[in-house]
């Protein structure tokens, strides 16, 4: 199997000074290639037993309905040729509608929602499609620079057949005024690649008067690849 080089500008550099923490955690030396005598072919078995009740509905984890705008998100995971990635494990995590994560390190002045923990997981189907229900996350301050606010976003983690194939990206929402001021979003040099991180509003996926629908496809390689490493 032969892979073409990655398209220029699709992926963020490991050190991007406007994103301040990369200055300390980004590698400053050239990477070393490790050649295994027999590379691991698989150590992940994506069984439906991995998916627990309500893993695909983040609004059902508490004793009542969470606060905020209920939405549904769906899309396909595809390779560079447009072929679906079947039976692949996806994990998602996000803050609540007030912009706070359910995590002890998030102590900023916003309320926790006792009915929203902000994490879930799912498997893609035979068409490479995933679907989950959640609450639209809020923006939040993150202390990177003066008046630093993150645009509303949801984190995606994708697994291949081995743990080393894990990829992480972020999904944003259309027309967010914070895009121009967010170093993480702006760390992707190519404008077209940045646009591929923004979900599309979908009236087709909208569920009656219950929740608005969004579509977000993830392409793993090639000229239309979704930026990763965010």
Active-site residues: which are they? 101, 140, 150, 153, 155
CA–CA distance, 227 with 17 (Å, rounded to integer): 19
The dihedral over CA atoms of 159, 161, 165, 167, expressed in degrees to the nearest 10, equals -20
Strands 211-215, 70-78: pairing is parallel
Which residues are registered as beta bridge partners of 123? 89
Buried b (16+ CB within 10 A) or exposed e, 25-53: eeeeeeeeeeeeeeeeeeeeebeeeeeee
Closest alpha carbon to 227 in 175, 179, 167, 160: 167
Strands 70-78, 129-135: pairing is antiparallel
CA–CA distance, 143 with 20 (Å, rounded to integer): 10
- Residues 6 or more apart whose Cβ sits within 8 Å of residue 106: 95, 100
DSSP letters, 149-161, are EEPSEEEEEE--S
Burial class (CB in 10 A: 0-12, 13-18, 19+), 226: buried
């Amino acid at each position: 199997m032969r892979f073409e080089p990655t398209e220029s500008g699709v992926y963020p550099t490991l050190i991007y000074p406007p994103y301040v923490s990369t200055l300390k955690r980004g590698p400053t030396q050239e990477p070393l290639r490790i050649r295994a005598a027999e590379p691991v072919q698989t150590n992940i078995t994506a069984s439906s037993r991995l998916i627990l009740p309500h893993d695909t509905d983040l609004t059902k984890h508490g004793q009542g309905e969470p606060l905020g705008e209920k939405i549904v998100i769906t899309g396909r995971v595809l390779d560079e040729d447009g072929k679906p990635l079947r039976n692949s494990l996806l994990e998602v995590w996000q803050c609540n509608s007030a912009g706070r994560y359910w995590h002890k390190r998030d102590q900023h002045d916003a309320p926790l929602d006792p009915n929203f923990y902000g994490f879930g997981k799912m498997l893609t189907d035979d068409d490479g499609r995933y679907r989950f229900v959640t609450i639209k996350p809020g923006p939040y301050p993150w202390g990177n620079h003066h008046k630093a606010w993150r645009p509303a976003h949801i984190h995606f983690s994708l697994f291949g057949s081995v743990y080393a194939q894990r990829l992480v990206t972020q999904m944003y929402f259309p027309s967010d005024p914070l895009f121009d001021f967010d170093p993480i979003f702006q760390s992707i040099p190519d404008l077209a690649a940045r646009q591929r991180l923004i979900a599309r509003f979908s009236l087709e996926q909208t569920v009656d008067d219950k929740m608005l629908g969004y579509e977000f496809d993830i392409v793993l390689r090639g000229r239309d690849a979704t930026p990763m490493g965010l």
